[in-house]
Amino acid sequence: MQLKCKRLPQEDGHCGWYETLPVAPRSTPLNGTVRADWVVLGAGLAGLAAARRIAELQPNASIALVDARRVGFGAAGRNSGFMVDLPHDLSSHDYTGDQRRDHQQIRLNRGAIDYMRTIVQRHNIACDWREQGKFHGAVEAHGLRALEAFSKGLHALGEPHQELDALAMKAATGSDFYRAGLHAPGCVLVQPAALTRGLGQTLPENVQLFEDSPVHNIEVGKPHRLTTDAGQLEAPRLVLTNNAYAAQFGQFGLKGRILPVYTYGSLSRRLSDNEQKELGGNESWGLIPADPMGTTVRRIGDGRICIRNSFTYNPNLRTSARRLARVRAVHQRAFERRFPMLPEVDMEYTWGGALCVTRNGGTPFGELAPGVFSAVCQNGLGLTRGTISGKLIAEYALGFESELLNIMLEQPQPVANPPEPILGMGVRSTLAWKERQAGKEL
Ligand SMILES: Cc1cc2nc3c(=O)[nH]c(=O)nc-3n(C[C@H](O)[C@H](O)[C@H](O)COP(=O)(O)OP(=O)(O)OC[C@H]3O[C@@H](n4cnc5c(N)ncnc54)[C@H](O)[C@@H]3O)c2cc1C
């Protein structure tokens, strides 16, 4: 079976996390034919975890990990850096909710954080790893209701958290924008591009990393053959970790089940010492909005502020300069509403990135065809879900058993999407409606 890739990852604006890192050493693109025991396609969080885990469990196996771009350049390095332990959307709103499902999600997320912590500590990866939890902030009436429901859900689950009033939110963030908030301690904050690059630079010796090597073609067979600009990879086992791009190969039933949705980030210029004093609050914090369509904000230790909001449906997996300019203006306004004491601070970088979501939150985890395994689609929470699905797909493919793997295998498979153009019309109008509802939470 020959599968041609329709669209490859491209530049979607300048990602501040990546651009503020030191210049990376030269990459090693694939050249000629390389035969390996395993090929892992996509060096984001899932691919890096899958390749590492296979190498740990099979120290004598050879693993080729291939990416179209540099490690850290894709969504894995473009996100807001929240390694969340708690699902955003709790089923346990009240004491009758589905607590088992929530507990399972939390086990998976914490499994990812534990695995990542071990790697970061063992290799001393400088990624501004901060175990400081996250704030949830609300400003509109519906945001306050969502916050209350979230807090009830956490009580029902026995998860520690602290409810905060407007004054406490101001003390922590320096902003008097939020009418109420909540602090949940289990989230870890990272510099995502630094983390991802660090993971790529500390892979076990039996993993060969090929960057700047877009895969144009996959021949599924014995062995599988992947073709890049200047070479070919051959291996009996292939692990797909190319997230939203997996559907671009048009097979394995992924195209009709996963949805490529873009979201956008901006990083401000560095605040001066006086501006930091004027702002007040903690020197580093992360806040997610009570309304999922609202604005995520992070203050970073180096004195910059990161803003994330806006979702768009991008089936062609690219965004435009016009869209980025529009989003940048939205980010600037969100910044000004929260930080009126910093009128001179502009966004220095603005970028977009592809999330992969499914309509029912399901995930196409498992063996899609003989010797072809999938750990794609993290439903927007790739730092934890990508890491754990990559680790667990390796264990699954090698026949290992574990409690976390059983939980992963219990997760629902994605449901089918309606055909285009109904799908596009539905997703676009839902996003636009929800964004309007978000009001000042944006
Ligand atoms: C602005 C923004 C903010 C976000 N905030 C958060 C957050 O705070 N916390 C969180 O958990 N998640 C967040 N996310 C989501 C998170 O970034 C993704 O869920 C995560 O990156 C998915 O990881 P992954 O490894 O599955 O896929 P990706 O990181 O997308 O990696 C897939 C890789 O496959 C490669 N690839 C694709 N096609 C090919 C090909 N044909 N040939 C070779 N290589 C290919 C790509 O170059 C890419 O490197 C955010 C995303 C964005 C865009």
Ligand 1 atom showing the smallest separation from residue 262 Cα: 53
CA angle 164–165–168, rounded 5-degree value = 75
Evaluate if residue 65 carries a pLDDT over 80.
yes
The rounded distance, in Å, linking the Cα atoms of 227 and 39 is: 12
Residue 90, pLDDT above cutoff 90: no
Q: Does a structural domain hold residue 288?
A: no
Looking up tokens 């409810």, which residue turns up? 163
**Considering the domain boundaries, does residue 327 fall inside one?**
no
pLDDT tens digits, one per residue of 314-327:
999 999 999 999 99
66 touches ligand 1 (CB under 6 Å): yes
Query: What is the SS3 string spanning 89-157?
Result: CCCCCCCCCCHHHHHHHHHHHHHHHHHHHHHHHHHCCCCCCECCCEEEEECCHHHHHHHHHHHHHHHHH
Q: Which of 38, 32, 86, 11 is nearest to 353 (CA)?
A: 11
Q: Is 3 in the pocket of ligand 1 (CB under 6 A)?
A: no
Encode pLDDT of 141-152 as tens digits: 999 999 999 999
C-beta 78 within 6 A of ligand 1:
yes
Q: Which residue CA neighbors atom 51 of ligand 1 most closely? A: 79
Does residue 343 lie within any of the structural domains? no
Query: Measured from the CB, is residue 75 less than 6 Å from ligand 1?
Result: yes
For ligand 1, is residue 380 a contact (CB within 6 Å)? yes
Pocket lining: 214 vs ligand 1, CB cutoff 6 Å: yes
CB 164, CB 113: distance < 8 Å: no
Residue 367 lies in a domain: yes
The per-residue pLDDT for 300 is 97
The residue-averaged pLDDT of 373-392 equals 97
User: pLDDT by residue (tens digit) across 162-218?
Assistant: 999 999 999 999 999 999 999 999 999 999 999 999 999 999 999 999 999 999 999
Q: What is the best residue among 8, 39, 79 to mutate for testing ligand 1's pocket, by most ligand atoms within 8 Å of CB?
A: 79
Asked whether 243 lines ligand 1 (CB < 6 A), one says yes
Q: Does ligand 1 come within 6 angstroms of the Cβ of 109?
A: no
Alpha carbon dihedral 309, 315, 318, 323, in 10-degree steps, equals -50
Tell me the pLDDT band of 406, cut-offs 50, 70 and 90. very high
Atom 2, ligand 1: residue with shortest CA distance: 79
Check if 309 has its Cβ closer than 6 Å to any atom of ligand 1.
no
Which residue's CA is the nearest one to ligand 1's atom 28?
44
pLDDT computed for residue 250 by the predictor: 84
Mutation to probe ligand 1, out of 86, 323, 378 (largest number of atoms < 8 A from CB):
378
Average the pLDDT over 323-341 and give the result: 98
Q: Is the pLDDT of residue 137 over 90?
A: yes
- Compute, in angstroms, the gap from residue 295 CA to the centroid of ligand 1: 19
Judge if the beta carbon of residue 241 lies within 6 A of ligand 1: yes
Confidence of residue 254 (pLDDT cuts 50, 70, 90): confident
Give domain status of residue 265, yes or no: no
What CA–CA distance (Å, rounded) separates 112 from 120?
12
Is residue 290 situated within a structural domain? no
Q: Is 77 in the pocket of ligand 1 (CB under 6 A)?
A: no
State whether the beta carbon of 39 lies less than 6 angstroms from ligand 1. no
Cα separation of 68 and 49, whole Å? 17
Integer Cα distance of 55 and 118 in angstroms:
16
Each residue's pLDDT tens digit, 291-300: 999 999 999 9
Q: Is residue 230 within 8 Å of residue 31, measured between CB atoms?
A: yes
Residue nearest to atom 6 of ligand 1 (CA): 79
Which among 178, 344, 189, 351 is positioned nearest to 271, based on CA atoms?
Answer: 344
What pLDDT, on a 0 to 100 scale, did the predictor assign at position 156?
93
* pLDDT for 313 beyond 90: yes
Q: Report the separation in Å between the CA atom of 382 and the middle of ligand 1, taken as the mean of its atom positions.
A: 7
- With tokens 């979607």, the residue in question is 12
CATH of the domain at 46: 3.50.50.60
Q: Residue 20 — very low, low, confident or very high, per pLDDT cuts 50/70/90?
A: very high
Cα–Cα dist 218/5, whole Å: 8
Q: How far apart are CA 334 and CA 442, in angstroms?
A: 6
CA 2 – ligand 1 centroid, Å: 25
List, as one string, the DSSP characters of 171-203. HHHS----SEEEEETT-EE--HHHHHHHHHHT-
Contact 331, 307 (CB under 8 A): yes
Using pLDDT thresholds of 50, 70 and 90, give the confidence band for residue 335: very high
Whether residue 17 is contained in a domain is answered as yes
pLDDT value at residue 251: 79
Separation of CA 93 and ligand 1 centre (Å): 29
- Residue 69, ligand 1, Cβ within 6 A: yes
Q: Which residue's CA is the closest to the ligand 1 atom numbered 23? A: 382
Does 43 contact ligand 1 (Cβ within 6 A)? yes
Kindly state if the Cβ of 15 falls inside 6 Å of ligand 1: no
Domain ranges, residue 140: 1-254+363-422
pLDDT at residue 141, rounded to an integer: 95
Q: What is the mean pLDDT of residues 41-59?
A: 98
Q: Is 85 in the pocket of ligand 1 (CB under 6 A)?
A: no
Look at the chain and report how many structural domains it folds into: 1
> CB under 8 Å to 349, separation ≥6 — which residues?
13, 14, 15, 16, 19, 266, 267
Residue located nearest, by CA, to atom 11 of ligand 1: 381
Residue 45, ligand 1, Cβ within 6 A: yes
Is 301 inside any structural domain? no
Q: Are strands 259-268 and 347-357 parallel, antiparallel or unpaired?
A: antiparallel
